[in-house]
Amino acid sequence: MSSDPRFAGPWDDRLPDPVPVIHRNLDVSVGGLELTTLTREHLEYWVRCIELQRGNTFMVVARADEPGFIQAYRNSATDFDLEWCDAPPPAPSRQAVVNDEAQIVALLWAWLEGDYTELDALDWESVDRN
């Protein structure tokens, strides 16, 4: 590292270890806020914030360039409805109940990662919006 004083302190050319995975070009809505980028840490934070948003207890996550979405609706401190749709509305979607905030984070992150193993293992009910 250079002895240049501009580079003193926490600002250097090293990334944290491990380097966080960043999902970009998203359409995320939570508590009336719109986001386009998430890390796992950000996702955990925003899921915790869902309950703080009066009248808006949803978090919707979609990719700007792909059809479909996944969303979590907080019913109580530990009870969520999770909805997953592979195509844009009004296509039918599936809904499951999840009773663990950490599991909601894991499921939303798995969807972002394209790993549907845990999602497929849930007991889904069909939701027809027509």
Chunked into runs of 10 residues, the chain (130 residues) has average pLDDT values of 53 72 94 91 92 78 92 89 86 92 96 95 84
Buried b (16+ CB within 10 A) or exposed e, 26-61: bebbbbeeeeeebebeebbebbeebeebeeebbbeb
pTM over the 0.85 mark: no
Domain locations in the chain as residue ranges = 18-125
pLDDT reported for residue 1 = 45
pLDDT of residue 51: 75
Residue 122 and residue 124: Cα distance in Å, rounded?
Answer: 6
The pLDDT value given to residue 122: 96
Q: What sign for the dihedral angle of Cα 108, 113, 114, 115? A: negative
d(CA 18, CA 39): 12
Q: What is the predicted pLDDT for the residue at 64?
A: 87
Contact 68, 76 (CB under 8 A): no
- Residue 11, token pair as written in the block: 């600002």
Closest of 80, 86, 57, 61 to residue 71, by C-alpha: 61
Residue 53: predicted pLDDT: 65
Q: In sequence order, what are the residues at sequence separation of 6 or more whose Cβ sits closer than 8 angstroms to the Cβ of residue 111?
A: 61, 70, 84, 119
Residue 119: partners with Cβ closer than 8 Å, 6 or more residues away:
84, 107, 110, 111
